[in-house]
């Protein structure tokens, strides 16, 4: 018997013993490089004789058991992530209002998706956000871009309670308006000026993010239409406020 065949058989015996070794020794089963084992078994498969074929089948069966052990290990690790509701409630009660509000604020990440965004549109979006830099920004916002009309920048600071109050009012107003059919965005904000115009656009953005309404572009009129929410993917678009 050649040394190559002997080595091939010995390798398959070691692979066949892997499941029992994992159960005895414990540890992370993902340390077993399953793909590397399969490549090694496939490499000399054609040259196997009867005994080698038997050992190969035992090795393959062992590999499937290792994968099963990995699946069980992963499921167990996921169960460890479970948080007892009573424990969570007790932790919430022990937090001060400021600490709880700060924690919730830091964990708030609105969802947005971008599809087929060319570089030109990205540059346009970057310029758009530069122009928005002064609206309600905290602290010193630095010099405005050259040629910018400072009167176009409005302060939109408001407390959480005031924001929720204004959102409730905007929700009632818009619900009544869109119930009669799609409402043009320009018609909604067009009757307001300055900070009030900005506020209406800001509140609408919040209501859309919460799923109360949706904006749909009408290519025939080149207008955005405010409609009752239809579900589907979240989207973000740049709209002219002033």
Inform me whether the pLDDT recorded for 150 exceeds 80.
no
SS3 229: coil
Percent of the chain residues past pLDDT 70, beyond the cut: 72
Q: pTM of whole model > 0.85? A: no
Distance CA 91, CA 88 (A): 5
SS3 231: coil
CA triplet 7, 12, 14: central angle to 5 degrees?
95
Place of tokens 């010193």: 140
Lowest mean pLDDT among 125-139, 141-155, 156-170: 141-155
What is the residue extent of each domain of the chain?
A: 3-79, 119-137+152-228
User: Could you report the per-residue pLDDT of 19-59, keeping only the tens digit for each?
Assistant: 998 888 877 888 888 999 999 888 888 878 888 888 889 98
**Of the candidates 204, 165, 209, 173, the residue with the CA atom closest to the CA atom of residue 186:** 204
Percent of the chain residues past pLDDT 90, beyond the cut: 8
* Alpha-carbon distances, residue 142 vs 127, 198, 234 (angstroms): 16, 21, 32
């Amino acid at each position: 018997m050649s040394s190559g065949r002997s080595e091939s058989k010995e390798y398959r015996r070691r692979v066949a013993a892997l499941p029992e070794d994992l159960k005895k020794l414990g540890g992370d089963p993902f340390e077993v490089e399953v793909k590397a084992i399969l490549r090694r078994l496939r490499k000399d498969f054609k040259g196997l004789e009867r005994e080698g074929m038997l050992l190969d089948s035992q090795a393959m069966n062992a590999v499937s058991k290792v994968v099963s052990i990995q699946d069980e290990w992963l499921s167990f690790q996921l169960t460890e992530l479970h948080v007892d509701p009573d424990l969570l409630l007790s932790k919430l009660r022990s937090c001060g209002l400021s600490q709880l509000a700060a924690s919730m604020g830091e964990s708030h990440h609105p969802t947005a998706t971008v599809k087929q965004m060319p570089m030109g549109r990205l540059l346009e979006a970057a310029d758009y956000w530069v122009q928005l830099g002064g609206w309600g920004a905290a602290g010193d916002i630095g010099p405005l871009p050259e040629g910018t009309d400072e009167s176009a920048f409005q302060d939109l600071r408001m407390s959480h309670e005031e924001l929720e109050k204004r959102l409730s009012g905007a929700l009632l107003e818009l619900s009544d308006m869109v119930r009669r059919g799609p409402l043009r965005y320009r018609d909604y904000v067009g009757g307001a000026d300055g900070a009030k115009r900005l506020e209406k656009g800001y509140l609408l953005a919040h209501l859309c993010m919460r799923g109360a309404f949706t904006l749909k572009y009408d290519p025939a009129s080149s207008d955005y239409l405010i409609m009752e929410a239809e579900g589907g993917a979240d989207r973000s678009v740049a709209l002219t406020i002033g």
